[in-house]
Chains A and B, each alone.
Chain A
Amino acid sequence: AQSVAQPEDQVNVAEGNPLTVKCTYSVSGNPYLFWYVQYPNRGLQFLLKYITGDNLVKGSYGFEAEFNKSQTSFHLKKPSALVSDSALYFCAVRDNGYGQNFVFGPGTRLSVLP
């Protein structure tokens, strides 16, 4: 069965500094990986996905993620953090079986300090 780990409950970063939110996964076969963001009292919003191709994926709001097959990681990055990036971030993996089920990580709370 597939699984997702986000090793940090909380990430704090100063505004203007680069940020990284970590994600590692376990899945049989080729991974389909996603990042979502959740602002307070809102539903999740899709940021980016990796299906195949270039290991560096660019997404919404200046975010990007790097797929590393050997390390089974899919870390989310942004070169310069904004206070408005403060939110809960979820990594998700989709299995390749009939159900194409999604499993979400436990989430990482990002706080960008002014």
Chain B
Amino acid sequence: DTAVSQTPKYLVTQMGNDKSIKCEQNLGHDTMYWYKQDSKKFLKIMFSYNNKELIINETVPNRFSPKSPDKAHLNLHINSLELGDSAVYFCASSPSRGGEQFFGPGTRLTVL
């Protein structure tokens, strides 16, 4: 009964490929987020969705496209992967916009 789950946990792929990371939360929260954590552990918000509506879209390349099929899911699709995309990607959810967040375990993406 994991609260926020992500798949896959590890993703190793070649430059130029397209990949997706899936996120699901079973907490009944309205808001979901994607974060990127780089090798120095800096954490930066990428996207935020509230009730399937995009709220925050930080300066992220348009190769990154979030999709929220329903309130419980927020997937991240990445086109034409680059070396610099290598990082740990975290999904999170919160009961309301601006509330404390519950994070998933992360997906470690390695682009070769």
Residues of chain A touching chain B, judged by Cβ–Cβ distance below 8 Å, are 32, 34, 36, 38, 41-46, 49, 88, 90, 94, 98-104, 106-107
Contact = CB atoms under 8 A, between A and B. Distances in A.
Contacts of A43: 4, 90, 92, 103-106
A44 B103 contact: yes
Interface of B: 4, 33, 40-45, 48, 55-56, 58, 90, 92, 97-98, 100-106
Contact of B56 (A44, A49, A99): A99
Contacts of B90: 43-44
Contacts of B92: 43-44
Contacts of A41: 106
A42 B9 CA distance: 11
28 contacts: A36-B103, A42-B106, A43-B4, A43-B92, A43-B104, A43-B105, A43-B106, A44-B43, A44-B90, A45-B103, A46-B102, A90-B43, A99-B48, A99-B55, A99-B56, A100-B55, A101-B48, A101-B56, A101-B58, A102-B33, A102-B45, A103-B45, A104-B44, A104-B45, A106-B40, A106-B41, A106-B42, A107-B43
Given A43-B4, A49-B100, A88 B105 contact: no
B111 to A, nearest CB: 19
A71 to B, nearest CB: 23
B100 A42 contact: no
Given A43-B105, A104-B44, 6 more contacts: A32-B98, A42-B105, A43-B90, A44-B90, A102-B45, A107-B43
